[in-house]
Amino acid sequence: MWPWYFIMDVGLWTLAAAVVFWAWPHLGHWWRLSACLTAGLVMILQSLNEVLSRQVFQAWTFSYEHNRMVGVTFLGEPLEEHLFWWAFAWMLPFFYLGLVAWFGKRDRKHGRPVKVSAHE
């Protein structure tokens, strides 16, 4: 049985890395810093959410019969569960700011006023 959950996490991290590499050259220093700090904070908060949801409140559980895990844990939880959410923590702020920068560049090119710029 393949560890499909881990394979999906690798795919998500590949997508997240592509988004970061796409957005990085279009963002100014402070916007890059903001996106990195946001991602780091969301990773910490999501890890805390995982621990609270599963161990303290017992909000959900895994079926290890249907979801083969690689066997590595972090804070008492399967690593795959953290990797899944951490990928989104990096993907979303960089995707949003990359779009802001892309649309701003497009609007400046067409002579439209740009009210928000992610390149400053």
Query: What pLDDT, in 10s, does the model give residues 19-33?
Result: 999 999 999 999 999
pTM summary value: 0.84
C-alpha span between 52 and 58 (Å, rounded):
8
* Mean pLDDT value across residues 61-66: 70
- For residue 1, pLDDT over 80 is answered with no
Highest mean pLDDT among 17-21, 59-63, 81-85 belongs to 17-21
Query: What pLDDT score does 120 carry?
Result: 56
C-alpha span between 34 and 49 (Å, rounded):
22
- For residue 60, pLDDT over 90 is answered with no
C-alpha span between 97 and 36 (Å, rounded):
11
Query: What pLDDT score does 76 carry?
Result: 85
Higher pLDDT, 73 or 66: 73
